[in-house]
Structures are given as C-alpha cells and as structure tokens.
Structure 1
Amino acid sequence: MLEFTDIFKQYQLGQQRVDALKGVSGRINQGEMVALCGPSGSGKSTLLNVLGLLEMDYQGKIELAGKAYPRDPMAAAQYRRTRLGFVFQRFNLIPVMSAWENVAYPLMLNGLSLAEQKRKSLEILDRVGLAEFVDHRPDNLSGGQQQRVAIARALVHQPEMVIADEPTASLDSQTAALVVEMMKSLGHEMGTTFVVATHDARMAMHCDRTIDLVDGVISTEAMQWAS
C-alpha cells in the first residue's frame, strides 16, 4: 500500500508563493491502477513528482509498503532505482540502443550482470508482446510499440510502484486503450501499483479508480471507482 498524509508543496514564482498541494492525503492499494485527474494547475503533476521522489522539498509523510520515504538525496536516488519505475509521455528511449538494451538500462544501473540484464529484458518484452522486436531501435518501432518498451523498462526490476506521466498523450485512441489495459493487467498480475497523471478521459475510464485534484486539494466528491 502507498499512503500519503498531509502533503504540502509550495513553489516560489518571483515574489509570489504558490501553494501547489494543500494537505493532500490518500491511500492506494498494492496492484491498483489509479488515475490522478484535474485541470492544468490542479496539482496532479506536482503530486506525481512528490510520489516519484522527483520533488524532495515537500511537507508531509509518505509510506510505501509500510516504510517511510527517504529524505536524503542519495538515499532517494537509490530508492528510485530499486523500488520505483517511470513511464513518460514521450517514451524517453535512448535512440542508439535496441529495445532490449533500453529495457535493460535500469538493471545495468543496479549492477546486474549482462547475462541477467538480457534474460530479464527479453522476458518482460515477451510479456508486453514485443518478442519479435527486441533488437529493433526506437526509430523502427511505432509509437505504441515504443511505449510498450517504456512500460517494460519501468517493470523490469519489479518495482513496487510505477509513476506514469501522461503515458497515452502521444498515442491514438485505439493504441492508447491497448497500452492502458496492458499496464493495468501487468500491475494486477505483478502486484505493482500504477499512479498515473492524465488529462485523457479514455485512460481514466480504464483505471481501477480516479482521484480528482482541484486547486491543490483532492475533491472527495470526484473520487470514484471507474466502471
């Protein structure tokens, strides 16, 4: 379970302080896929960054699997590499690397042998339906295939949680639905929690639950189980 309690986050814009998050609290279960929704400026991207330890300057408490988030920058970097995964809107694949080499990158950072890197990468690429494309570079893959490589990369080290920022924004409707269902299915199967920031109503419909943020607070009236 992910639990965050009384999260406050401020930004300084010139002479003005902006309250991006105003005491946000919530719980997300293991293996659950939750969409963070809301208009621009609502705080969803800020909350996503805080939960992904990309923003360290916040007030409040966050626990994942019963353990508090680290506050030390070095410990936070290690935490991100080992316990979290990330999926981005524009895939963020390395152009000169093949699909399996892109997927293996987190394993390399975590010190696994080359043989283990390749074995684990090929296994997860097979699970996302890309067994025939493991040696292809990103420019030889479609947008949907590139995002599946990015999902495989996020999951290859078996993180407890994956942070996804607008993962379907660059995809057409049909491909987006397939990608979301794949993330949801893998999350349920592997017990990996997905927290997704999205403007895309199509994606929110496929998630287990949505959480709406308005002006830095969670709108309890808008929290609902997705059909």
Structure 2
Amino acid sequence: MIKFSGIRKHYQMGHQTVEALSDVAGEIRTGEMVALCGPSGSGKSTLLNILGLLDMDYQGEITLSGNAYPKDPRQAALLRRTQLGFVFQKFNLVPVMSAWENIAYPLMLNGYSLAEQKQRAEELLDRVGLLDLKDHRPDNLSGGQQQRVAIARALVHKPQLVIADEPTASLDSQTATTVIDLMKSLGHEMGTTFIVATHDPRMATQCDRTIELVDGMIQTEVMQWAS
C-alpha cells in the first residue's frame, strides 16, 4: 500500500508563488489501479512525479509498504530502480534494442544474469501476446505493441508500484481498451499497484477507483468496484 499525506508543492514564477499541490492526502491499496484525473494544470503530473520519485522537492510524507520515501537522492534512485515501474504516453523504448532487450533493461540495471534477463523478458512477452515479436525493434512494432512492451518492461522486475502517465493517449479506441485490460489484469494478478494520470474516460472508468484533482486539491474519489 502507498500512503501520502500533507503533500504540498509550489513553484516560483518571478515574484509570484504558484501552489501546484495543497495538502493532498490518500491511500492506495496493493494491487489497486487508480485513475488520477483532472483538467490541465490541476496538479496530476506534479503528484505523479512526486509519487514516482522523479521530483523530490516537496513537503509531506509518503510511505510504500510502511517504509518512508527516502530523501537522499542515491536511496531514491535505488528505490525507483527496484520497486517502481513507469509507463509513458510516448512509450520511451530504446530504439536500438529489440522488444525483449527493452523489457530486460531494468533487470540488467539490477544485476540479473543475461540468462535470467531473457527468461523473464520472454515470460512477460508471452503474457502480453508478443513472444513471436521478441526480436523486433520498436520501429517495427505498432503503437499498441510498443505500449504492451512498455507495460512488460514496467513489470518485469516485479515492482510494488507502477506510475503510468497518459498510457492510452496515443492509441486508437480498440487498442486502448486492450492496453487498459492488460494493465488491470496484470496488476491485480501480480499485486502491483498502478497509479494512472489520464484524460481518457475509457481509462478512468476501467480503473478500480478514480481520484479527481482540481487546483491542486483532491475533490472527489469514486469507487468502481468494492472487494
């Protein structure tokens, strides 16, 4: 479970202070997929960057499975590498790497043997239905296929938390539905928490819960299901 409380973030624009987040708090359960919604400028990306340890200049407290988020940059980098995964709108795959090499990249950074890298990458490729394309580079894959590779890469090292930023924005309706279903089913099965910033109503309605941010504050939370 990830918990956050008293999250505040401000930016200095000349002589003016702009508060991007104001006393934001919440809890997200293990294996839950939560949509973070709101208009542009509402603070979604700011909160996502803070929860993903991409921005450490904030006030407040965050814990992941009861352990406080580190303040030291080296410890933060270690936590990002071992316990967090990321899925982006533009896929962010390495163009000179094959599908399986892109997926294996987090394992390489964490010191896994080449044999284990390939085995686990191929297991995830099979789960996302792309094993037959394991040696293809990103420019030989469709947008939906690239996003499935990106999801597999985010999950290959079995992180506790995956941060997803507009993961369906570049996809057509049918492909987006496939990607949403894949993220949700794998997250539930693996016990991985997903926090998804999205403007896509298809994404939001398929998540377990929706949190709406307006002007840097949480306005509403909507449960899609109850366990």
Counterpart for residue 127 of structure 2: 127
Cross-structure match for 2:53: 53
Distance in 2 between the 1:15 and 1:150 partners?
41
C-alpha displacement at 1:154, in angstroms? 0.2
When the two structures are superposed, what TM-score results if normalisation uses the length of structure 1? 0.98
Partner of 1:136: 136
Q: Which moved more, 1:122-131 or 1:84-93?
A: 122-131
User: What residue in structure 1 maps to residue 218 of structure 2?
Assistant: 218
Distance in 2, Cα, partners of 1:154 & 1:22? 29
Write the distance in 1 (CA, Å) between the matches of 2:101 and 2:13: 40
Q: Name the structure 2 match of 1:6.
A: 6
* 2:113 counterpart of 1:113: yes
Aligned 1:69-148 pairs, distance under 5 A: 69-148=69-148
Question: Which consecutive residues of structure 2, in runs of 5 or more, have no partner in the other structure?
Answer: none
Q: TM-score, normalised by structure 2?
A: 0.98
Task: Kindly report structure 1 stretches of 4+ aligned residues shifted beyond 3 Å.
Answer: none
Q: Is the 8 A contact 1:37 1:44 kept in 2?
A: yes
Q: Write the letter of the residue equivalent to 1:88.
A: F
Question: Structure 2 counterpart of 1:117, which letter?
Answer: Q
Unmatched tracts of structure 1, length 5 or more: none
SS at match of 1:223: strand
1:138-167 Cα distance to aligned partner (Å, 9 max, x none): 011110000000000000000000000000
Size of the alignment, in residue pairs?
225
Task: Give 1:14 deviation, angstroms.
Answer: 2.1
Give a deviation string over 1:61-87, Cα, whole Å, max 9, x none: 000101100110010001000000000
Question: What code does the residue aligned with 2:93 have?
Answer: L
Task: Describe the superposition over 1:105-164 as per-residue Cα deviations: whole angstroms up to 9, x where unpaired.
Answer: 111111111111111100111111111111011011110000000000000000000000
Distance in 1 (CA, whole Å) between partners of 2:35 and 2:63 is 19
Shift of 1:225: 1.2
Counterpart residue identity of residue 223, structure 2: W
- Between the aligned residues of both structures, percent identity stands at 72
Say which SS state the counterpart of residue 121 (structure 2) adopts.
Answer: helix
Check conservation: 1:31, 1:191, Cα contact below 8 A: yes
Structure 1, residues 15-44: CA drift from partner, whole Å, max 9, x if none?
A: 221100000000000000000000001001
Amino acid at match of 2:6: D
Q: Secondary structure at the match of 2:19?
A: strand
Farther off after superposition, 5-14 or 183-192: 5-14
Check whether the contact 1:180–1:203 (CA below 8 A) recurs between aligned residues: yes
